[in-house]
Structure 1
């Protein structure tokens, strides 16, 4: 379980913007891998960057090929996340995960099947094994935070 030494203010943990949700819808509607890839890259640009002061090693998600950071905040039984990556494609993939987990309850997050979701989007066969492993690590970290009562 991640235990960052310095964490962002709870005020930064917000529901996702309408623009980000619309970007996810465009990925779902895209037919070719090239269109999906382009939309994923654009989605990554919509995720606010994490301040350098929060890019601590203890907030890094292990198992990602690139660097990725994840923070969690629970409010009124809902889970909110802040995440960033140094790789644009990973940042876009993070956006897809957040679209399915941001503001959700523990039960809803536990019911989310990332493999099934990425299969449905037509992304599973397109991602390299290392990207798939990193995505799985991020999804597992999101779920792991639902068990941590201190966040």
Structure 2
């Protein structure tokens, strides 16, 4: 089961029938995040495979996975916020067990993201899983 924060997003999505409203909701989630400091927007934190600029900065503290992220595209910033709700605060050992594609499918995103956005989302998930696996 996903985190309470992600479950709240799933519940909110159920009330939003129109995809335009759902996109707005995802964008608002991204706007609510703190921006990634410029000093962390470096090649080491940049995610390859995304059509837009994407940076993920993972932090492991006391066996718990945290990350900050940002993008120059509003919808992608919102997708980062969804991943943040899904992964941030998990014990490191649990990060690899999260079936992010299945959890995100509960939102219906698979059918409403462009191929480029879907590829970028997969690249972000792969980066999160890789970092957690290497730190574990």
The TM-score normalised by the length of structure 2 is 0.87
How far the C-alpha of 1:87 sits from its partner, in A, is 0.5
Give the whole-Å Cα distance in 2 for the aligned partners of 1:66 and 1:114. 20
Q: Output the CA distance in 2 between the equivalents of 1:46 and 1:28.
A: 20
Establish whether residue 146 from structure 1 lines up as the match of residue 100 from structure 2: no
Q: Displacement, 1:43?
A: 0.6
- Structure 1 unaligned spans of 5+: 1-18
CA spacing shift, 1:117–1:22, aligned 2, 3 Å: closer
TM-score by length of 1: 0.79
Partner residue of 2:70 out of 77, 84, 90: 84
Q: 1:40 to 1:83 in 2, by over 3 A?
A: same
Give the root-mean-square deviation of aligned CA atoms. 2.3
Measured in 2, the distance between the counterparts of 1:135 and 1:28 equals 21
Alignment match of 1:105 (pick from 54, 79, 91): 91
Matches within 5 A, 1:64-143: 64-143=50-129
Following superposition, which runs of at least 4 residues in structure 1 exceed 6 angstroms of deviation? none
